[in-house]
Structures are given as C-alpha cells and as structure tokens.
Amino acid sequence: MQFQPCIIYKFGWDLIISGMWRYKKIILVGILLIGSILILTQCQQNNKTVAENTNVDFGQFAGSKSCIQCHQKICDSFTTTTHHLTSLAADLSNINGSTDSLHNSYYFSPSVYIKIEKKGDSLFQTAYSNGVKKISVPFHIVVGSGKRGQTFLFWNKNRLIQMPLTYFTETHEWTNSPGFSNSPVFNRPVTSRCLECHSTYFHKTSDTTVYPEEFSKTEIIYGVECERCHGPAAQHVTYHQQHPEQKTASYIINPGRLSRQQSLELCRLCHGGKLSKTQPSFTYKVGEPLKNYFNYEEGAPVVSETDVHGNQFGMMSASKCFINSNMTCNSCHSSHGNETGRKEIFSQRCMSCHSQQQNNFCKLKQVSENTVLKNNCIDCHMPELPSKAIMVLRQGEDIPTSAHMHTHFISVYKEIADSKLKSITAGH
Ligand code: HEC
Ligand code: HEC
Ligand code: HEC
Ligand code: HEC
Ligand code: HEC
Ligand code: HEC
Ligand code: HEC
C-alpha cells in the first residue's frame, strides 16, 4: 500500500487573535495580534477509501413530511419538540439572538470584536480589529432549539465550521462559544458525531482518513426526526401507500416494543455522555446493541464526576429508582410532544411508582399535606444544577457562566429541599 504525500490544508482566511487583555482590566497587559494561518496536515491513504455512511443511505429515508398523510396527530405535536428544532437551515426567523445595534456585538477587547451584521436576507458574524474588518462569515446552520442556546455553523467548501459566537438564552446575549479561547476563532471543524446527536442524517462524503470531515450539502435531514427513532422509513411509506387496506404496520420499528435495554440504548446514543465510536456515525440502527458501535464502560458512572449536561442516562442509572425498577426514559418522557416545564405531569409519573397506598411516598410530611409540593417532586429530587460542560464566557468576565440542567440522579437534596420549603412558607 502506498501513501500519498501529505496535503497541506490552509484556512487562508483564518484569524486568531491572542491577547491577555480583558475588557474590564485597566492595565493593558499587551495585545498580540497575529493574523496567523493555521495549517492542518491531512494525510490521505491512496487506495483505501472507506465510505462513512456504509449501510445507511439517504434514499432509505422518506422525511417527516411524508408521515403527515397517515399520522397527522403525532406529526402536529412533534413540531413543538426540541428534538425537531435541534437543527435547522438558518434563516432570519430561526436565529434567536439580537441584531439591534445595542446588543449585536461581543467584545474580546475594546478594539477586537465580532458583530452580527445583516445583509439582505442573511446574517453574518464579522470580526473587526482596530476598526478593520478581518473576516465575515454567513450563518448557514442553527444547532440547538434555543431552549438553552444556539450555536451556528457555516460551510467552508464541504466542511462545516462552528461560528465563534453562540446565543445563550439564560442571559439573552451573544457569548463566546463554549470551549473557545478568548479570541475570535473561525476554524473549529464540526464532526459527524456532533451532527449525529443533533440531526437525523448528514451524508459524509470524505473517507475516514480525511480531517476535517466533508459532507454533502444536499443529503441532510435536519432535526432529531421520526426516522431517527423509528429507523429509515421509505419502504414503510411506499408499502402503506400501495396497500391502504393494511392496518398493521410493516417495515418500521416501534421502540415501544423493544426490550428495556434496547429502548434505553436508543436514548443513550445521544444522552449517554461521551461514547467513543467504533463505527461511522449515523450507522447505528435502533434495536441493535449499542456496544457494536461504541466503546463504553458498563455500569453506572460516579455521580460526582458526571455532568448534568449530556448524560441523563448515566445519572439516571445511578439512581435507586432505576436500579430497583424497570424504569426507562419513557417512564417519564413522551416522545411526540413538548412537556418542558410541566412539573405536575412529571410528578404524576413519579406517583405511578411512589404513593401513599404503596407506602413508599415522600418521607417529608409537608409533601402529603401540601398540593403545591405534591405537584412538584422535581424541584426537590431532580433540581436544576450548574453544568461544568456547558459554560460560556460572557463579555467582560473572566469566569465562565454555567447553564443549569435537571439532574437525573434522583435523590434527596437536603439543602435544596430546605430552601424550597422556606420559599413555600414565605408564600412564593
Ligand atoms: C400511507 C400511510 C402511512 C404513511 C405515509 C406512514 N405510515 Fe406509519 N403506519 C401506517 C399504518 C397503516 C400503520 C399501522 C397502524 C398504526 O399503528 O397506526 C403504521 C404504523 C406506524 C408505526 C407503529 C409501528 C408499530 O409496529 O406499532 C410507526 C412507528 C410508524 N408508522 C411510523 C411512520 C413514520 C415515521 C412515517 C413517516 C416517515 C410513517 N409512519 C408514514 C401507515 C403509514
Ligand atoms: C439522535 C440523537 C438523539 C436521540 C436518539 C434522542 N435524543 Fe433526546 N435530545 C437530543 C438533543 C440534541 C436534544 C436537545 C435538543 C435541543 O434543545 O436543541 C434532546 C432533548 C431531549 C429532551 C429535552 C426536552 C425538553 O424539554 O427540552 C428530552 C426529554 C429527550 N431528549 C428525551 C429523549 C428520549 C426519551 C430519547 C429516547 C427515546 C431521546 N431523547 C433520544 C438528541 C437525541
Ligand atoms: C425521540 C424518539 C422518537 C421520535 C423522534 C419519534 N418517535 Fe414515535 N415513538 C417513539 C417511542 C419511544 C414510541 C413508543 C412509546 C410511545 O408510544 O410513546 C413511539 C411510538 C410511535 C408510534 C406508535 C404508537 C403511537 O403512539 O401511535 C407511531 C405511529 C410513531 N411513534 C410515529 C412517529 C412519527 C410520525 C414521528 C415523527 C413526527 C415520531 N414517531 C418521532 C419515539 C420517537
Ligand atoms: C453525544 C451527543 C451530543 C454531541 C456529540 C453534541 N451534543 Fe449538543 N446536546 C446534546 C444533548 C442531549 C443536548 C440537550 C440536553 C443536555 O444538554 O443534556 C444538547 C444541547 C446542545 C445545545 C443547547 C440546545 C438548547 O437550546 O437546549 C447546543 C447549542 C448544542 N448542544 C450544540 C452542540 C454542538 C455545536 C455540538 C458539536 C460541535 C454538539 N452539541 C455535540 C447532545 C450532543
Ligand atoms: C418506575 C418506578 C419509579 C418511578 C417512575 C420513580 N421512582 Fe423513585 N424509586 C423507585 C424505586 C423502586 C425506588 C427504590 C426504593 C427502595 O430503595 O426501597 C425509588 C427510590 C426513590 C427515592 C430514594 C432515593 C435514594 O437515594 O434514597 C426518591 C427520593 C425517589 N425515588 C423519588 C422519585 C421521584 C421524585 C420520581 C419522579 C421524578 C420517582 N422517584 C420516579 C421507583 C420509581
Ligand atoms: C420540599 C421538597 C420536597 C418535595 C416537594 C418532595 N420531596 Fe420527597 N423528600 C424530601 C426530603 C427532604 C426527603 C427526605 C426526608 C427524610 O428522610 O426525612 C424526601 C424523601 C422522599 C422519599 C424517600 C427517600 C428515602 O430515603 O427512601 C421518596 C420516595 C420521595 N421523597 C418521593 C417524593 C415524591 C414522589 C414527591 C412528589 C410527589 C416528593 N418526594 C416531593 C423533599 C421533598
Ligand atoms: C423519573 C422521571 C424521569 C426519567 C425516568 C427520565 N427523565 Fe428526563 N427529565 C425528567 C424531568 C422531571 C425533567 C425536567 C422537565 C422540565 O421541567 O422541563 C427532565 C428533563 C430532561 C431533559 C432536559 C434537560 C433539562 O435540564 O431540563 C432531557 C434531555 C432528559 N430529561 C432526558 C432524559 C433521558 C434521555 C432519560 C433516560 C435516560 C430520562 N430523561 C429519564 C424526568 C425524567
């Protein structure tokens, strides 16, 4: 086997500004401006082209629009879910951040900033240094429903690059993207694993030896859609269109009939923290063992070392509720509607296992007596805690701000419960 010489890939328009200067500090430590060129080497093996999406093809998908004809009710309520909204082709209507002149910029220092600019029907992130425009890139793809935030991607030829500014919903402002250094960075490539968690399908066109990865701009299914959980469904649609008399389903997976393990693994694909993949992204098929696609350790993780972001499966699997019952994610979550914030509905689901009749109800006596508490088991037993993984740097601050997420380690949180009780008795 022969190796081709390494190809040097240049981001000609790359801009990296490194500076110790922070907005609030009075003494200027020094601004070092390097309009540097980042060089990535990319070695290609000559005669071994390994196609990424080997056993899943764009043509096997029908698209969610085609389901409406026969499953209208589910389709209607599904459009409100964060799964549906978690990635979209960007346009003016779905980018949440402000474009008005008071709130459309993020300053890394008084002379280095990024501004959100509108040209025609498109928005751009434009970097300025000492009043000089350095680089301007268009918003192409939105990632994130906006419940917590939105991150944006743009195409550079067939590569996808993450934009430097992220919209952070908790503080309603543009912030430096999580994990980015405190300077305008326009060269962070997006991986197929990122897309695998935030969409239904992206066709990767480059082989496994090429980095950054390359994707087709046309073979994309945005959002975590029907076919992500039910499998590609073109055959199901064609069959039932041709056989309207058939009332039992063909060529489709109903996760409601999977084993507990299979059902959990479907959600774990994206809600199980960092799994290292052993197969190309997008090839996992619902119902097949996740172990055939990823390497991970069996057993519940150490709770204190697990972040509330991204690993609901890990946190839940350490809980007594999970260990001592047949709990799955579907014990509390419905897949086709948006129940965000509906604490009374979730509390009902707790009470399907915990009730006074079964003698395993809440040990705190105030709860049995107070309907406000009874309708909200969540604030005390699954409180929102700060994430160490989703943190953004706000303008002028040195310490990143955390997003808050519900822990799935269901347990007794004494201090939180005490303060909840206090606020209830104080009439809040
Ligand atoms: C031409 C009609 C038709 C279209 C279009 C259609 N389905 Fe179905 N589907 C059916 C019928 C009929 C059934 C069986 C009765 C039922 O469960 O509603 C069914 C059942 C299902 C089931 C339950 C399977 C089971 O074993 O219980 C799922 C899941 C499903 N469809 C998903 C989809 C998805 C996803 C799409 C769009 C990509 C889709 N369907 C498009 C007709 C259709
Ligand atoms: C292909 C990846 C993927 C799969 C599979 C998946 N999810 Fe998600 N899920 C996501 C992403 C990404 C989000 C974040 C959406 C956002 O806000 O942008 C999310 C959000 C959620 C939310 C938050 C809803 C809210 O209130 O905002 C719940 C609950 C959830 N998923 C449950 C499940 C369950 C249960 C399963 C298994 C049946 C599952 N997910 C399977 C990727 C996935
Ligand atoms: C996050 C994963 C997920 C997504 C996305 C999803 N489903 Fe489901 N679906 C499930 C699960 C889990 C079940 C079984 C449990 C249940 O009934 O809620 C199910 C059950 C079904 C059923 C059979 C039971 C019923 O309620 O009739 C149909 C039909 C169906 N889904 C269609 C769809 C369609 C159409 C879409 C897209 C508009 C969709 N699903 C999106 C996970 C998902
Ligand atoms: C292993 C799966 C996984 C990967 C990989 C992943 N995410 Fe997520 N992401 C999630 C899940 C699940 C959520 C929502 C629940 C949570 O935070 O635990 C989420 C939340 C988000 C949100 C907040 C959405 C909202 O409004 O609530 C953004 C923005 C986001 N991800 C962007 C990205 C980007 C950009 C990448 C890749 C560069 C990425 N994520 C990689 C699973 C993933
Ligand atoms: C599928 C059934 C089921 C559901 C749903 C359920 N639990 Fe549990 N839970 C259990 C079982 C079983 C135990 C273990 C009891 C034991 O150890 O004796 C448990 C234990 C607990 C404990 C004790 C935990 C500890 O570490 O000591 C708390 C608190 C709790 N559950 C609260 C809740 C809350 C709040 C909800 C809803 C958000 C909920 N549970 C939903 C079955 C369930
Ligand atoms: C105001 C906060 C608060 C609310 C609301 C609340 N709990 Fe509790 N819960 C506690 C505290 C604190 C304890 C521990 C009490 C003790 O051990 O003396 C507890 C104990 C429990 C236990 C027993 C844990 C064990 O050690 O075995 C269960 C089960 C439980 N709660 C379930 C629920 C359910 C279900 C709801 C909703 C209907 C609920 N709780 C609402 C604070 C709360
Ligand atoms: C015992 C009930 C219960 C189970 C089981 C459960 N969840 Fe949740 N989940 C909740 C509650 C309650 C919330 C908070 C909902 C709200 O207020 O919007 C939540 C929120 C979420 C969110 C949004 C994050 C946030 O901070 O609001 C995601 C994502 C999620 N769950 C995924 C999962 C996944 C994946 C599983 C299975 C591994 C699962 N959940 C199992 C009760 C549960």
Taking alpha carbons only, the member of 422, 415, 353 closest to residue 385 is 415
Q: Is 247 in the pocket of ligand 1 (CB under 6 A)?
A: yes
Nearest atom in ligand 7 to 405's CA: 26
Q: What is the pLDDT of residue 37?
A: 25
What is the CA(351)–ligand 5 centre distance, in A? 9
pLDDT tens across 381-395, in order?
A: 999 999 988 788 888
What are the pLDDT digits (tens) for 277-335? 999 999 999 999 999 999 998 888 888 888 878 899 999 999 999 999 999 999 999 99
User: What residues of the chain score a pLDDT lower than 50?
Assistant: 1-51
In the prediction, which pLDDT does 45 show? 33
Q: Is the peptide bond before 400 cis (omega within 30 degrees of 0)?
A: no
- Give the Å distance between the CA of 354 and the centre of ligand 5: 7
Nearest CA, atom 24, ligand 1: 254
Using the mean position of ligand 5's atoms as its centre, give its distance from the Cα of residue 353 in Å. 7
Rounded distance from Cα 290 to ligand 4 centre (Å):
19
